[in-house]
Amino acid sequence: MNAHFTSTDLDAYFERIGYEGPHEPSLDTLKALHLLHPQAIPFENLDSLLGRPVRLDAGSIQQKLVGAGRGGYCFEHNLLFRGVLDALGFRTRSLGARVVWGRTDAEMPARTHMLLLVDLEGRTYLADVGFGGVTLTAPLEFETGREQATPHEPFRIDRVDAGNYLLQVKLDGAWTPLYRFDLEPQFDIDYEVANHFVSTYPPSIFRHNLLAARVAADSRFGLFNRRLSLHGANPAQRELTSVQQLRDVLQKEIGIRLPDQADDVSSAEFDAMLARLP
């Protein structure tokens, strides 16, 4: 078993996401965990906004995302998920990606996203529980050019050129690119470097904007600063005009136990951060 994940750690994780199924490394187990994880553990960048370090060691991630009822961003989510899968006997590979979602320029972005490949029963699957507003809710077979259904939107892996791939999601009938990646293995130090960049580099989107998201059974909640969006059968948007509204949405719709309830952040400090949001 993975040295970082004891049976007690796994039990706590399973309780956190509401999983009561078998523990063998099967496709059914992978699919169940991949669906439950993003419904229970939100995407959020509150620590970066508060100027607090985002720690990627296994103990810190487990304490924050599992024990404290918080969320996190891609490195935290996928390192936690990798640890669980490894402890259950899955064979995982860690990769890095360049996020192109929402970009309008042609400049190649830095490699600032983490994803996993899972080798299982002679096939390979892409697993990623940490992409925020359009997080996958099922593993994808690593097969290019084929539309693949998930419990939410369809996705597709395309080959860009020799050795480079593009993950796309189908939104409102059109394919939208999410991130570009290759198969070069990434090591934990690579994620430490990328994590330091996105959480401390002054122009980073995570330093000045609130991003939070959670998957629901048939929809998605997304929060960008003061704009709350509901995606699904009945899409809607609304602007949050007060700190109390932001608090309510973060706790109820996004499902976060706020830092001033779980950590050493004061309510005054947390509310001041929310009040500064554009």
**Annotated domain spans of the chain:** 7-275
- Report the C-alpha gap between 37 and 39 in whole angstroms: 5
Among the options 37, 113, 152, 231, which is catalytic? Answer: 113
Query: Which residues fall within 8 angstroms of residue 54, CB to CB, at 6 or more apart?
Result: 47, 48, 72, 73, 75, 76, 195, 199
The reply to whether CATH 3.30.2140.20 applies to domain 7-275 is yes
Q: 94: which strand partners?
A: 116
Q: What are the pLDDT digits (tens) for 238-264? A: 999 999 999 999 999 999 999 887 677
Among the options 37, 128, 231, 263, which is catalytic? Answer: 128
Q: Are 29 and 48 in contact (CB under 8 A)?
A: no
- Residue by residue, pLDDT tens for the chain (278 residues) are 344 677 779 999 999 999 999 999 999 999 999 999 999 999 999 999 999 999 999 999 999 999 999 999 999 999 999 999 999 999 999 999 999 998 877 788 999 999 999 999 999 999 999 999 899 999 999 999 999 999 999 999 999 998 999 999 999 899 999 999 999 999 999 999 999 999 999 999 999 999 999 999 889 999 999 999 999 878 899 999 999 999 999 999 999 999 887 677 889 999 999 999 99
Q: Are 156 and 170 in contact (CB under 8 A)?
A: yes
Burial class (CB in 10 A: 0-12, 13-18, 19+), 133: buried
**4: annotated active-site residue:** no
- CA 263 vs. chain centroid, Å, equals 21
- CA 181 vs. chain centroid, Å, equals 16
Q: Are 148 and 140 in contact (CB under 8 A)?
A: yes
Percent of the chain residues topping a pLDDT of 90:
87
The total of other beta-carbon atoms located within 10 Å of residue 205's CB is 15
pTM summary value: 0.95
Q: What are the pLDDT digits (tens) for 94-126? A: 999 999 998 877 788 999 999 999 999 999 999
**231: annotated active-site residue:** no
Starting at the edge strand found earlier in the chain, the sheet holding 43-44 runs: 43-44, 211-215, 219-224, 227-232, 236-239
Query: Which residues fall within 8 angstroms of residue 29, CB to CB, at 6 or more apart?
Result: 21, 22, 23, 88
Q: Are 72 and 65 in contact (CB under 8 A)?
A: yes
Among the options 74, 77, 152, 263, which is catalytic? Answer: 74
